[in-house]
Structure 1
Amino acid sequence: MKQKRYPAIFISIVFLLIGIFITFKLYSDWKDTELAINQPFVNHIAEKSENLDLKTIIHEAEKSVIQIEGHNEYSTITGSGFLYNSKGDIITNAHVIQDADAIYVRTSNARFYPAAVIGISEDTDIAVIRVPQLANRDPLPLSDELAEIGDEIIALGSPHGFQNTVTLGIISGTERDLDVDGYHYANAYQISASITHGNSGGPLIKRETGEIIGINSVGMDDGMFGFSIPINEVIDIAKKWSNEAVNEDLKFASITDIMSNINMEQGLQDANYLTEYFWDSIGIRDYISAYSLLGSTLQQSTSYADFRNQYIYIIDLRITDSESEVLDHNQIETTVEVDVMERDSNQDDEKEKTTSQQFEFIFAYENDQLKIVKITDTTD
């Protein structure tokens, strides 16, 4: 007679159920565990990916947009350009620099550098200049495709001298041919965004992709529309000039000469601009750009991590008032009032609050560049 095995079967089922439960619990714990990423570069990219709106796209693009000043004995011509490779080479219009004896550029963070011409056309309105100090920066991507009528575009101009000249519009025409002031524009884009002297030479960006599709070149007197040179029409000659240029053979103007002629009125304008750029960077969580505006002494006393932690709870902000005045020793004081919306870190539910705050910035020239040397919260 066979012995009944019910107890053994019951015990096996119990162990099987326990094994299934343990396996499920381990999987759930693994799935809910957050992965910690401690690489600063990865964290910075993650921060910048949040809320990628038009304001953020423009702010990032302006880092590659350069204001160009062409000086000669009689005048100063101001235009724009943009970095297009990692050698510090800037594409611009030929008419911006054709009569210049000395060329200087200003970056979006108000840095000031001499430039040298590495190529200029007599027929097509294009030129390329080089600024070695801007080498190894990431330029904006160039589009491989032609734009089409109806594409939304962003036309950027001088990031500093004309206070972030940005115009929006669409491609309203293609394959336009025209001659202006001795230059022939072939297959040009007609755009609904107006182009002024400050925009000339700046990039035309496709709103959808963020890629450069053209060079803003000609504006109409009535401001109704403008024309841009497709980047595909000129990129080959620009690359040829860049590949053939040797820094040791280039002629750069002395920055000392031009710095000695900068009056404090220009310094006040620069201080106001840098204050606005600082808060714009904080507002879109671009702490690296804001931190780069600090002078060396301030950076030595404040690490990037500590600086970032001062502003990390800010959700949004708006400058309500700003005043600057010249102090002794070529320093400039800027007092700025800012409405700040931030998370209340002292509350468990992280409620949002908006407060009016006041700050005092002290600017000074450091290695011929205007820098923030002191920030004081003067809120009552």
Structure 2
Amino acid sequence: MKRTWMTSLLITAVFILLGIGGMIFVQQKIPSQLEAVSILDQPVPEEEGEPVNKSNQEIIYESQKLVVQIELDNGTIGSGFLYNDQGDVITNAHVVANAEEVNIVTVDSKEMTGKVIGISRSTDIAVVRVPELAEQEPLSIQEKDNAPLLTEVLALGSPLGLQNTVTRGEISGLDRNFELTPFRYENVYQISAPISPGNSGGPLLNGETGEVIGINSAKLGEESIGFSIPVSNILPIVRKWSKSPMDDLPEFPELENGAEVSNQQTDADQATYLIQYFYDSINQGDFVAAYSLLGSDWQESTGYEQFREGYYNTLSVSLDNTVADPEGEEIQVTAIITAEETVDGEVEIKKYKLEYVVAYENDQMMILSGKGEEME
């Protein structure tokens, strides 16, 4: 009886020791194994400073919002782009010469006033401060001049007043030097992307990363040869102006009549671009931007969620044709679109004819109403 009792006690002690050992193993060994697995499962962080390649369409859509048209009272039209979060826009000196204030038009037709805070008489560069653009994320700048020959480039701007225009090409020459009174252009890029009057001051983008590498500044005669000032060359001076704006601006008597072609953009042109921007936003999935282009009455009758649901089955939209017809203070814009839609799980291609009414509302051009029908 006593031996049986001793045996039971011994067995119980063994089980207790095994249980304690198991608990120690679970508490110490297993968590360390789980931690090691979780570390392996974590994504490897990307190296900082390496630009990410993007499609041309992504680059164009993201950049156009930060490229503006610059207009002067003498009819001069040029371009510029936002380069910091203070609302400062880089452009060419010959675009804003002899002006203290200029009119700024954004891609979504907002008009605002900019003040010239810095301009050079030797280098064709200037900075315009636009308070209403402050705190927006600016375009990404390639600060080092390392764009080699044959780099794919995109030139953005408003050639001949045609806002929201993009041309594509390559860097076809390096370190070009020449003079156009009163400016001297040194070590500039030669580009094959077609540019015209009105492109001046617009950004030259790296076609793979979307970074600004230059400022489109000049063209050789009637040839498709343009020149762009490397942005890395002028960053020190433009940053100095942004930090300490010039008190007195130099005069340019040789540019009194304006340096660009004065092809003023009409309201009909602007209405057409507004509809184009609307569908660009839809295609990029930026429904907030598209919705913001609608007039107050339309937004009041159609909430954002309802507007968004209207495009739930839309995969893409291409704008085939637009015709703008001014009628008094309103502009009737007729658009023919081709839409790729999902219907009962199948992809179908449909054509629509849409009619929009575009007009100014609180000094900003908006899409007041729209209706459409499917075409056979």
**TM-score interval, smaller chain:** 0.7 to 0.9
- CA offset at residue 163 of structure 1? 4.1
- CA offset at residue 102 of structure 1? 4.6
Cα gap change, 1:314 to 1:326, in 2 (>3 Å):
same
Q: Distance in 2 between matches of 1:130 and 1:121?
A: 15
Q: Distance in 2 between matches of 1:158 and 1:137?
A: 21
Q: Distance in 2 between matches of 1:101 and 1:94?
A: 12
Does structure 1 retain, via aligned residues, the 8 Å contact 2:159–2:196?
A: no
Cα deviations across residues 82-117 of structure 1 (Å, max 9, x unaligned)?
000111110000001103465111111111112111
Q: Please say which of residues 229-238 and 276-285 is displaced more in the overlay.
A: 276-285
Which one-letter code corresponds to 2:107 in the other structure?
S
**Corresponding residue for 2:333?**
334
Which one-letter code corresponds to 1:88 in the other structure?
G
Q: Distance in 2 between matches of 1:206 and 1:323?
A: 33
- CA offset at residue 379 of structure 1? 3.8
- From 32, 53, 58, the equivalent of 1:56 is 58
Matched, 1:267 2:267: yes
SS at match of 2:72: strand
> 1:98-177 alignment to 2 at 5 Å?
98-100=97-99, 102-146=101-145, 147-158=147-158, 161-177=161-177
- CA offset at residue 265 of structure 1? 8.7
Does structure 2 retain, via aligned residues, the 8 Å contact 1:153–1:204?
A: yes
Q: Which ranges of 4 or more aligned residues in structure 1 deviate by more than 3 Å?
A: 99-102
TM-score by length of 1: 0.76
SS at match of 1:316: strand
SS at match of 1:285: coil
Q: Distance in 1 between matches of 2:133 and 2:242?
A: 14
Provide the aligned C-alpha RMSD in A. Answer: 3.1
**Corresponding residue for 1:260?**
none
> 1:203-242 alignment to 2 at 5 Å?
203-242=203-242
Q: Please say which of residues 369-378 and 119-128 is displaced more in the overlay.
A: 369-378
Q: Distance in 1 between matches of 2:198 and 2:223?
A: 13
- CA offset at residue 303 of structure 1? 2.7
Cα deviations across residues 284-327 of structure 1 (Å, max 9, x unaligned)?
32222211211233223323222222113222222233233233
Q: Distance in 1 between matches of 2:338 and 2:54?
A: 22
**Corresponding residue for 2:350?**
355
Matched, 1:200 2:195: no
**Corresponding residue for 1:71?**
73
- CA offset at residue 155 of structure 1? 1.1
- CA offset at residue 159 of structure 1? 8.4
**Corresponding residue for 1:366?**
361
Q: Distance in 2 between matches of 1:159 and 1:117?
A: 21
SS at match of 2:221: coil
**Corresponding residue for 2:295?**
295
SS at match of 1:178: strand
**Corresponding residue for 1:188?**
188
Larger Rg: 2
Cα deviations across residues 21-63 of structure 1 (Å, max 9, x unaligned)?
xxxxxxxxxxxxxxxxxxxxxxxxxxxx9x9632232121111
Does structure 2 retain, via aligned residues, the 8 Å contact 1:107–1:159?
A: no
Q: Which has the higher relative contact order, 1 or 2, with Cα contacts under 8 A spaced 6 or more apart?
A: 2
- CA offset at residue 368 of structure 1? 0.8
Cα gap change, 1:322 to 1:171, in 2 (>3 Å):
closer
Structure 1 residue runs without a partner (length 5+): 1-48, 251-263
Structure 2 residue runs without a partner (length 5+): 1-51, 250-263
- CA offset at residue 183 of structure 1? 0.3
Cα gap change, 1:168 to 1:119, in 2 (>3 Å):
same
Which one-letter code corresponds to 1:369 in the other structure?
Q
Q: How many residues get paired? A: 318
Which one-letter code corresponds to 2:80 in the other structure?
G
Which one-letter code corresponds to 1:153 in the other structure?
V
TM-score by length of 2: 0.77
Cα deviations across residues 131-159 of structure 1 (Å, max 9, x unaligned)?
11111111110012211112111111128
Cα gap change, 1:159 to 1:303, in 2 (>3 Å):
farther
**Corresponding residue for 2:314?**
314
Cα gap change, 1:116 to 1:178, in 2 (>3 Å):
same
Q: Distance in 1 between matches of 2:157 and 2:265?
A: 22
